[in-house]
Amino acid sequence: MALLRPCLSNVLNRYKIITNRHVTCLNLLRKRHHYSGQAITAISDLLQDLGPQFYADGDKIRFLHQPTDFYQELLSKIKTAKKRITLASLYIGNGSLEQRMVDELQQVSRSSIQLNKPLDINILLDYTRGSRGKQNSRKMLLPLINESHSSVNVALFHTPHLRGPLKAIVPERFNETIGLSHLKVYLFDNDVIISGANLSDSYFVNRQDRYIVIEDNPEFANFFQDLITVVSKYSLQLQPDDTTKMLEDINVHPYENNDSSQEFINAMRSDIHQLLHKYKDSIKNNNLSKSNTVIFPLIQMGPFEVRFDEEATQRLFGSLRKDSTLLLASGYFNLIEKYLATILTKSKGDYKILTAAPEANGFYGASGIAGYIPDSYTYIAKQFYQRIVSENQDQRIKLLEYERQGWTFHVKGLWYYYQQEQLPSMTLIGSSNFGYRSTYRDLEAQIAVVTSESNLQELMKAEQESIFSYGKAVNQDVFRSDRRQVAFWAQMVTKYILWKFL
């Protein structure tokens, strides 16, 4: 026995170490589960009253990382759709990649008609952007409409604020600054892709954006189908001869009649609010125990007094605790003043804000006045950075710029890390840039995905880290460099005029 005692002692000690490690891991898992549960409750409480909410299976949600993945996903889902395809985008480009996508739509529509199972195809674009130039989105879609007119509908939203003398005076391209349909929703049966990307070649190749795929969620898909249907109802309908007209049962018009636009605004606003209330009422008796993942559609349509995204964003900024971190991205950084003030003076947590370096701005190298737009964003970013420094917030708020050779940056959204957690509990993803025009001029669709499912949280983190891996910290030396000097006239135009159109 004396000889066995040392061996037994070693075995017991090893067992204690293993047991202690096991207990420690269990405690960490319990602690993580506890904080994750707290996070989903705390964040959901902030958003509960803003509109509908939908429960989701985290295993049926995924993120795409590359523009090529986005393009292939679109093609794949077009080919396999059985009942409906709904595409809401700013515009459709006119290159070979876009042509292939339209060809696939035409082929799947033709096949469905031959099988006597017509596929409903609905496309919503912005009128001004979709009509720009001689070879535009409308021209791209005419063959599809002419072949399958009974099952294909193309709607072109026209802002009611572009009318009368303003419509006559403001030239093409510049008229897009007055207001747009900026929705980016791609729906196939009960699968939905929410993105900030348009249906154009650069968004399929080397323009970085975000893309979330939510599959097999009929309630969520039906909501966005109905939302796009309402906007399309108040849009101009593209005809086989490339003319447009309103639906016969709609007795208001976005720009005809030189009187007030209020009649049109009131009618569309009423239908949108009625839809939102319908979906909110249908789930008001549900509770969070149904799922560990909740999706909140945050619709922002400033002209029609729908401000869910604005209110949600303001609440998230204002409630950020000292031990929490928020990462925000905007390809066109022009946060409205109340966001800036809240981040600087009310928020207690840490921020990392990623925006485009001048060379990664989509307008870099553009001809004419558009070529000066990156200078405007440089000026806005510099003003914000100086406020960070002057208010001694530079340890808490970090500004970064996306730099990637040959790529442009179109990412928008945020990731919320709750109470020192290593994984995000929420992400906002969609079309909004958090700027003036996103808030007040355009139609935007963003969603908040709140979850305590670790697999989905891991996917959120992987996406965030992939995007931020190209971020470089900004400091005073960056803004003092020769390449960041903005002409005085450009500063004045941005400060007093242009910021309301960015």
Q: How far is CA 455 from CA 25, 295, 340, 424, in A?
A: 18, 16, 33, 11
> CA 166, CA 175: separation in Å to the nearest integer?
9
Q: What is the 3-state secondary structure (H, E, C) of 378-424?
A: HHHHHHHHHHHHHCCCCCCEEEEEECCCCCEECCEEEEEECCCCCCC
442 included as an active-site residue: no
Token pair of 18 as six digits: 């293993």
182 included as an active-site residue: yes
Q: How far is CA 446 from CA 29, 83, 228, 433, in A?
A: 32, 25, 14, 10
167 included as an active-site residue: no
What are the residues facing 300 on neighbouring strands? 307, 444
Token pair of 136 as six digits: 């535009």
DSSP 44-84: HHHHGGGS--EE--GGGEEEE-SHHHHHHHHHHHHHH-SSE
Token pair of 438 as six digits: 């996103």
Do 351 and 343 touch, CB atoms closer than 8 A? yes
Q: Which of 158, 167, 182, 410 is catalytic?
A: 182
Q: Which of 158, 167, 184, 382 is catalytic?
A: 184
Q: Which of 77, 126, 189, 201 is catalytic?
A: 189
The catalytic residue positions are: 182, 184, 189
